[in-house]
Chain A
Amino acid sequence: MKKRKGNPRSETLKVKIVTYTLLFAAAVVALFPFYLMFVSSTLSTGDILKIPPTLSIGSNLLVNLENLKDKINIGRVVFNSVFISVVYTFLTLVINSLAGYALAKFHFKGRNLIFALIMGTMMIPAQVLYIPQFTMMTSIGWANTFKAVIIPSLANAFGIFLMRQNMISFPTALIESARIDGFNEFSIFFRIVLPNMKPALGALGIYNFMTQWGSFMWPLIILSTNDMYTLPVALASLDGLMYKDYGMMMLGASISTIPVIVMFLSFQKQFISGLMGGAIKE
């Protein structure tokens, strides 16, 4: 990040005040719903739906947790979400960086066409695919399985693009000398190229994890029993109940939000710069 030199005296006080006010207001708007969610998860629904609304921490957290356990098998649901997201993230990183590497570092027949086709898939709305995918999954017996959630979206144009952009600048000389040293093509990729791609892999990995973690429509379609539900699907099922227990729902929402926030805050630097790299290169 380049620092822009400006004449400090030319920054009038008015500009500063307006800028800070706007930024501060925007930050409050962005953060307040999180605060409300966390606080409400410790309150009883009666306290939440009071006038004036309660905005301080209450003592109903354990009761909400009991109620949540009563309605959904929260341990199992969290496990499902973690399992699906972790396996998805790992596999998608491997196959998309393999493809990105092929497109960045090799010259071969059809390369530009393949790259153009891959980028073209970005324009296809996923919803077009759901009905044929659903009938396909049903006919091969994959309905209501984790595979059906994980596999269809493993190949991902954004991931391929991001990895390709990051690998273009990888020194070809290193690859050449590894070949001379007798490394085969796969070990060159896994032992020489990939370890140098940690920042990009980290950013893309977090992005993929979050996407899968929050994914809703496809799991809603393909998962049909409570024990297979992911967090978003289970949360939505709580909302469908006749009596809406907001304390319990906000606890569920918090449980689904905290892991991604922690993950994001721990890696925000790599994540944001990785995402920015993807947006600007080319």
Chain B
Amino acid sequence: MKKLWNKLKVNPKSAPYYFLIPVIVIFGVFMIYPIVKSLMLSFYSFEAGDYHFVGLQNYLNLMKDPVFKKSLFNTLVYLVVQVPVMVFLALMLAYLTDQAFVKVKAVFRISLFLPAVTCLVAYSLVFKLLLNNEYGLVNYILNFFGIDGVNWLGGSISSKISIMIAITWRWTGYNMIIMLAGLQTIPHELYEAADIDGANRMQKLLRVTLPNMKPIILFAAITSTIGTLQLFDEPYILTEGGPDGATITVAQYLYNTGFRYIKFGYAAAISYVLVIIIAVLSYLQFKLGETDS
């Protein structure tokens, strides 16, 4: 008994385990268990309050499900178009605000970062107003210049563009700050050496800045990819997934399936497809980052 007591005592040897207990318990109960449970659920159907084992049927149905295909397609469109554009913009703005001659750097940086602190629902409502078909300011400005207004939230392509504009507005500043952090780790000596070699601004950017920024660009690309694959708030508020499913995302379809139609098994299968996609894409991005260097 006394031995056990001694073992349980908080000493420098046992302390780290005690310190990790809260985190491990919470991860265990609210993450590890749900992940396993979700996988199991995905092999069941939940109907009339009962679970039935259906094997791979949920996954087979998903492959034939037109709404799921649409949501997957939309999510991938957001990913392929929006992430590169945003990463480019973030890198460019970071580079510009990092130029030695720029005054009031902090004002620019804070202004550009501000969208990243606003709550997603609030800013989505503002964009809904801005992009309003009849009364929105964006169409007003277009009309002012003699351009026909766009049905921003009602067309199948334009609504996707609207979602992408909104996400880009919200997240570019955040990624810019991450890029800035990267810019500041590039050793000053590299630029001095380039100066001695007579490199001009463009050469320094291409030969010194960009190669050294690769890990950070990769980091921003991976976190943005994971974020985009989980996109929910913006389409939920801005377009409600419409028109006719043109903007619905995987996360939104999962929400509808699980919490509107209460098809837990089917929704769990959707979530596992999401896990697999995230794992594969992150792996590919890592590999891509490795082979180049």
A279-B20 contact in complex given A123-B226, A210-B117, A216-B121, C-beta closer than 8 Å: no
Query: Across the interface, do A22 and B96 meet the contact criterion of CB distance under 8 Å?
Result: yes
Q: Name 28 interchain pairs, CB-CB below 8 A, sorted by A.
A: A33-B130, A33-B169, A36-B130, A37-B126, A95-B22, A99-B19, A99-B23, A124-B31, A125-B251, A127-B254, A129-B30, A131-B267, A132-B34, A151-B30, A185-B12, A214-B120, A216-B121, A232-B121, A235-B125, A236-B121, A250-B126, A250-B129, A253-B125, A253-B126, A254-B122, A257-B122, A260-B117, A272-B113
A96 within 8 A of B: yes
A124-169 at interface with B (beta carbon < 8 Å): 124-136, 151-155, 160
**Residues 252-282 of chain A: 1 if any B CB is under 8 Å from the residue's CB, otherwise 0?**
1110110011011100100010011101100
Mark A residues whose CB is within 8 Å of B: 1-6, 8, 11, 15-16, 19-20, 22-23, 26-27, 29-31, 33-34, 36-37, 40, 48-53, 95-96, 98-99, 101-103, 106, 108, 111, 114, 118, 121-136, 151-155, 160, 179, 184-186, 189, 210, 213-214, 216-217, 221, 231-233, 235-236, 239, 246, 249-250, 252-254, 256-257, 260-261, 263-265, 268, 272, 275-277, 279-280
Question: Smallest CB–CB gap between B224 and chain A, Å?
Answer: 13
In the bound complex, CA of A264 to CA of B173 (Å): 14
In the bound complex, CA of A1 to CA of B185 (Å): 10
In the bound complex, CA of A43 to CA of B227 (Å): 35
Query: Across the interface, do B122 and A256 meet the contact criterion of CB distance under 8 Å?
Result: yes
In the bound complex, CA of A95 to CA of B112 (Å): 32
Classify chain B: how many residues form its interface, as a range.
Answer: 35 or more
Query: Across the interface, do A96 and B109 meet the contact criterion of CB distance under 8 Å?
Result: no
Question: Smallest CB–CB gap between A108 and chain B, Å?
Answer: 5
Query: Across the interface, do B15 and A185 meet the contact criterion of CB distance under 8 Å?
Result: yes
Contact of B102 among A19, A123, A151, A250 (CB under 8 A): A19
Measured between beta carbons, the chain A residues less than 8 angstroms from B264 are: 131, 135
Measured between beta carbons, the chain B residues less than 8 angstroms from A185 are: 10-12, 15, 18-19
In the bound complex, CA of A99 to CA of B15 (Å): 11
Query: Across the interface, do A23 and B114 meet the contact criterion of CB distance under 8 Å?
Result: no
**Residues 32-55 of chain B: 1 if any A CB is under 8 Å from the residue's CB, otherwise 0?**
011101100100000000000000
Query: Across the interface, do A53 and B41 meet the contact criterion of CB distance under 8 Å?
Result: no
Find the A residue at minimum CB distance from B30: A152
Measured between beta carbons, the chain A residues less than 8 angstroms from B12 are: 106, 179, 185
Measured between beta carbons, the chain B residues less than 8 angstroms from A265 are: 110
B99 within 8 A of A: yes
Contact of A129 among B34, B117, B129 (CB under 8 A): B34
Measured between beta carbons, the chain B residues less than 8 angstroms from A253 are: 121-123, 125-126
Contact of B115 among A19, A30, A49, A50 (CB under 8 A): A30
